[in-house]
Amino acid sequence: NAGVTQTPKFQVLKTGQSMTLQCAQDMNHEYMSWYRQDPGMGLRLIHYSVGAGITDQGEVPNGYNVSRSTTEDFPLRLLSAAPSQTSVYFCASSWDAETQYFGPGTRLLVL
Amino acid sequence: LAKTTQPISMDSYEGQEVNITCSHNNIATNDYITWYQQFPSQGPRFIIQGYKTKVTNEVASLFIPADRKSSTLSLPRVSLSDTAVYYCLVGEFRGSARQLTFGSGTQLTVLP
């Protein structure tokens, strides 16, 4: 099993650009989520999904969109990148919300 | 909200037992307590979860008193590789599912 994979590992964007962070899992988990982690801070939940076709907002959803067309994939879209979105983004999957498996993260720098 | 409070940092020496206490005064009846570990530049890793009394696995023990307003993560005989941030979390039902709220965690530094 590859577990949770994220691409790209690192990305530099200019303000106003859009991009999609990819997340995939091969554990057949229903629950998937996206977090961001700013330096020296804990993780903050952006969006989550309890199954294909179902998504919901977390603590900091503004500026991000998600969709869940399959059980395996949960992409995160930045609509118009801003410097405040510079962060490390983690995707996670699980059978329930508490015991999540996290991916290696995507480091995003917005100039 | 079942917010958790834990120390910002702790130091320990190799071979010692480390106890990290977390308070969660507003925990709800059906909430579980979950601990994660995070190394630099990596995603968090699930360590242990419990509801009451004591839970033990190959990595740690979790002690939860009867009132469940606090919990203590115990790491036996730590090594340098246990240096990490440890998060105490209580899952809360919001929206369509339970969600985890990560605080700042406890930075554990193990010294030689």
When pLDDT is cut at 50, 70 and 90, the band that residue B2 belongs to is low
CA distance A8 to A12: 10
Nearest Cβ partner for A48 among B42, B97, B102: B97
What is the rounded (10 degree) CA torsion for A68, A70, A73, A79?
-30
CB contact at 8 A, A68 and A24: no
CA distance A87 to A89: 6
Q: Which residue has the higher pLDDT, B26 or A1?
A: B26
Q: How many helices (H) and strands (E) does chain A have?
A: 0, 11
How close A92 comes to chain B (CA, Å)? 9
CB contact at 8 A, B14 and A63: no
Q: What percent of chain B has pLDDT over 90?
A: 72
Closest CA to A35 of A14, A64, A8: A64
Task: Give the pLDDT confidence score for residue B95 in this predicted structure.
Answer: 66
Contact between A105 and B44 using a beta-carbon 8 Å cutoff: no
Q: Is the pLDDT of residue A28 over 70?
A: yes
Q: Give the CA diameter of chain B.
A: 46
User: In this complex, is the C-beta atom of A104 within 8 Å of any C-beta atom belonging to chain B?
Assistant: yes
User: In this complex, is the C-beta atom of A27 within 8 Å of any C-beta atom belonging to chain B?
Assistant: no
Mean pLDDT of B39-61: 94
Q: Which residue has the higher pLDDT, B60 or B94?
A: B60
Contact between A104 and B43 using a beta-carbon 8 Å cutoff: yes
The distance from CA A79 to its chain's CA centroid, rounded to whole angstroms, is 14
Query: What is the chain A residue with the closest CA to B42?
Result: A104
User: In this complex, is the C-beta atom of A103 within 8 Å of any C-beta atom belonging to chain B?
Assistant: yes
How many residues are given for chain A? 111
Contact between B97 and A31 using a beta-carbon 8 Å cutoff: yes
Q: What percent of chain A has pLDDT over 70?
A: 100
